[in-house]
Amino acid sequence: MVLPTLATLLYFVFLSGSDLMKIVYFGSKVLQFSFPLIWVIAIQRHRIRIPRPTWDSINAGILMGIGIVATGLLAYYGFLKDSIYLENAPALITAKVNEMGLTSPTLYIAFALFLAVPHSLLEEYYWRWFVFGQTKRITGIKTAIVISSLGFMSHHVIVIHQFLDKGWGVTLFFSLCVALGGVLWAWLYNRYKTLYGPWVSHLLVDLGIMYIGYDLATFAH
């Protein structure tokens, strides 16, 4: 649970603007997403079974994702876009996407699709299948949902604060929204015993977030 936060602090803050940022970013992702398989297969010696998709799980994930995205867009266009809470966001987001090499709408959209599709699946595999799944063996389901969701939230605190820069109160509010998403996806995963529903929901939410980022950013060409 601590690794993603430490990695985000390193590449997103300490190495911001450095040529090493992209190298550390991808290296940390390789470490983060390979560790669970190594742990479960080599250390615990468990066999991994991939269940078939179930429409109950997928439909629940779609409905949950649409609900979250709709709420976020209503809040964005109804209040947040022109509020003091996002007044620094356009400049900060533009600077960060330029730093990441996303200098055109095409590159930004390609990166958004990467985050929304494969990366969201990897995050669900990491936070729900591995972190939540391992934690509930020790603490029970309810406590594991809370603990894993706070872990899922913690590295987002750093990212959100970099983009908003409006004090820790605002950062904490949006970070708790992330934690709530973690609670819902952990519940969904535990309910249907499959990652398909949480993945679809996470995918839709990431697309919604990246759309807002696209709306706020200014591209050079």
Residue 175 carries which side chain, given as an amino acid letter?
S
Q: How many CA atoms lie within 13 A of 14 on its CB side?
A: 9
Q: Is residue 48 part of a domain?
A: yes
Phi and psi dihedrals of 67, rounded to 5? -65, -45
The pLDDT of residue 221:
60
pTM of the entire structure?
0.89
Calpha distance 136→145 (Å, rounded): 8
Cα gap 191→127, rounded to integer Å: 16
pLDDT tens-digit profile, the chain (221 residues): 999 999 999 988 888 878 888 899 899 999 999 999 999 999 999 988 888 888 999 999 999 999 999 999 999 999 989 888 888 889 988 988 888 888 899 999 999 999 899 999 999 999 999 999 999 999 999 999 999 999 999 999 988 887 776 667 778 888 999 999 999 999 999 999 999 999 999 999 999 999 999 999 988 76
- Cα–Cα distance, 221 to 218 (Å, whole number): 9
169 located within any domain: yes
Please state the separation of Cα 33 from the chain's center in Å: 14
89: in domain: yes
Does 221 map to a domain?
Answer: no
The residue with tokens 């699946």 is 121
Long-range contacts of 8-15 (CB under 8 A, 24+ apart): 8/155, 8/158, 8/159, 9/158, 12/158, 12/159, 12/162, 13/158, 13/162
Q: Domain for residue 33, yes or no?
A: yes
Residue 209 lies in a domain: yes
Per-residue confidence (pLDDT) for residue 112, from 0 to 100: 94
- 21 belongs to a structural domain: yes
Boundaries of domain holding 181: 3-216
Residue 190's Cβ-side half-sphere holds a number of Cα atoms within 13 Å equal to: 21
Domain count, the chain: 1
